[in-house]
Amino acid sequence: MLLEFGKAGWIEKARQQPDKVRMVLEKIKTDGLQPTIEAVLEKLDQPLPMGYCNVGKVLDTGRDAGAFQVGDRVVSNGKHAEAVSVPINLCAKVPDVVSDDEAAFTVLGAIALQGIRLANPTLGETVVVTGLGLVGLMTVQLLRAHGCRVLGMDFDKDRLELATRFGAEVVDLSEGADPVLAAQSYSRDRGVDAVIITVSSESNEPVNQAAKMCRKRGRIVLVGVTGLELSRADFFEKELTFQVSCSYGPGRYDSNYEEKGNDYPIGFVRWTEQRNFEAVLDMMAEGKLDVKPLISHKLEIDEAQKAYEIVGGLEKSLGILLEYPGIEITQEARTVTLTSSGSSAQKPPTGQRNAKVELSFIGSGNYATKTLMPAFKEAGAGLRSVATNTGVGGVHAGRKHGFIESTTDVGRLFSDDQTNAIVIATRHDSHAGFVLEALRSGKHVFVEKPLCLNHQELEEIGKAFSERQEGESGAVLMVGFNRRFSPQVQRMKKLLKGKKDPKAFVMTVNTGEIPADHWAHDPETGGGRIVGEACHFIDLIRFLCGAPIKSFQKMEMDSSTRDTATLQLGFEDGSVGTIHYFSNGSKAYPKERLEVFASGGILQLDNFRKLRGFGWPSFRKMNLWRQDKGQKACARAFVDAVSGGKPSPIGMDEILEVSRVAIDLQGGACS
């Protein structure tokens, strides 16, 4: 499917993903054409690691590796790579009697097994398997091991022959056989008990035929991909059960299970992803699941392109095994040189007084790659190292933006004498630790918001920064509060400078909904959206007001995510600010609007594109051709401060103040 999508032209890609097309059209309306085009091109440019079935030996383990030890032979659903990093619940030990070649099929086998578990067959039942590819042929064998009578259907004679070897009766659809009549006959004219669909087709026929094959109250499980225009009459009259199988089993797409390693109690969830892996391996060990006949090709990883040509071409294939050479993970092996030293160096912009800034990045996510890296490069910083967990994204971003090297050894950045500044663009829970390590290693720090997630981290950062300032050389510590640097906000600041009376600020943020299980909502990982994103707008109003925050409170709508709320701010000069941070609106509406009421005048900023003044004798409007939220100016200000030996563009007292208020508001505290 991925290969076919990749080969498709723009029109075909759009046809295959109409929901994405709607999102693009909505973004054009709110953000403009050029930013939307850039965002789409950046998204399409991101590398996509292939694969999810592998076997190998454990090279290293983390803190909570359980029973896994270095040297264990394991299967996992990690991507195709020499070194794979996976959480504990997505691995399983391989029995000694199961070869590497066989074990490589385990994850696919778990997909077949989960479909069977949903069909819930019993001894002696009749089950049809439609589609005899890899998953279909393993489904046949596992059903036979359940004691079921199995009827397999396909157009390919070789696959039909394999199904026969595995104990199934078969129907050759290439010869025009009627699948419904064949199933009726095979079930002794009673209708089959269940149908498991393992085909990949846009047609609705596989599901409609399955409904006609089934007995009353039969079960249909979709493991593959088909059209889903169902005939209500068939399902209604027979009271059929239809279910779509989700990958390897319970735990799939649950971050608590997959990423954090929290297993489900076996007394309540007998079969999980990992336990399905184990069950498949047990079946291989006992000889009840034979995958050796499914291996059609074995190629070295150097021939991977040929492997994908086979998959996407006309040559017949089933299971294609890719073999990797054995490697040893060393500190040196974790770093890849991308360009010759100095080739990425940028000349300092005019006006900088000292040597250029040598930046290293931790993290190469979408925002870092699309926005931060080009912004710092344009500002005159040299891009030295980019560190990531997996390496794939780091190498891609490094080559694209001209970094000297890419590494998975984060510690290398802090000990690198050539790096004098660190940019932190990772998940929120890692920010505080990296900031502290950077400060203690003598580096300047730019950290994407938020600075940290709790008061303890905030206190430690404040202390470390103070100690650094007392040393021989001070540090620039800056949080990516970019909106205060946007040209329209800078204009607003100048206009408000002459207004001495208290002001009223109203910020409306149509932030959009994200799933409740998204990491941003997780208190430990993301900290919640108030501390993780709304801090931007607390800082923006704090900047425009120019006075410390003396009081604050939150009123939130009743929801599990707690990300639809109104934040109230009171300032020492008598000004007030209201931030409507709403996740329950439409994405067709612009994301951000700021209104300022001051001494008979009103300023209205719409989505960082249109700024209008009402009641301002010397100002009417300032409109931009494209949205500018100040990211480039923010990066430039940091680079100028580091290279010129200047203080941070945002005072540390303001950074700590805004961070403290955001943390309190996330927790519901008021002052």
- Can you state the angle between helices 652-667 and 535-545, rounded to 10 degrees? 130
pLDDT of residue 354: 39
List strands edge to edge, sheet with 192-197.
169-172, 149-154, 126-130, 192-197, 214-222, 241-244
pLDDT of residue 349: 42
d(CA 102, CA 287): 11
d(CA 593, CA 175): 64
State the CATH class of domain 334-480: alpha beta
pLDDT (tens digit per residue) in 192-244: 999 999 998 889 999 999 999 999 999 999 999 888 888 888 899 999 999 99
Complete DSSP assignment for 385-442 = EEE-SSSHHHHHHHHHHT-SEEES-THHHHH-TT--EEEE-S-GGGHHHHHHHHHHTT
pLDDT of residue 331: 77
Which of the residues in the chain have pLDDT under 50?
A: 342-354
Instruction: Answer positive or negative: Cα dihedral of 161, 166, 171, 173.
Output: negative
CATH code that applies to domain 483-667: 3.30.360.10
Name the residue with tokens 């399983």: 92
CATH code that applies to domain 106-285: 3.40.50.720
Complete DSSP assignment for 285-303 = HTTSS--GGGEEEEEEGGG
Q: In the chain, where are the structural domains located?
A: 2-45, 106-285, 334-480, 483-667
pLDDT of residue 268: 95
Query: Based on C-alpha coordinates, what's the Rg of the chain?
Result: 30
Complete DSSP assignment for 244-289 = E--TTSTTTT-HHHHTT--PPPTTT----HHHHHHHHHHHHHTTSS
d(CA 452, CA 426): 12
Please name the residue ranges forming H helices in 53-99.
none
Classify 579 as helix, strand or coil: strand
pLDDT of residue 350: 42
Nearest alpha carbon to residue 345 among 252, 246, 234, 420 = 420
pLDDT (tens digit per residue) in 404-438: 999 999 999 999 999 999 999 999 999 999 999 99
Same fold, 106-285 and 334-480: yes
pLDDT of residue 508: 97
pLDDT of residue 355: 54
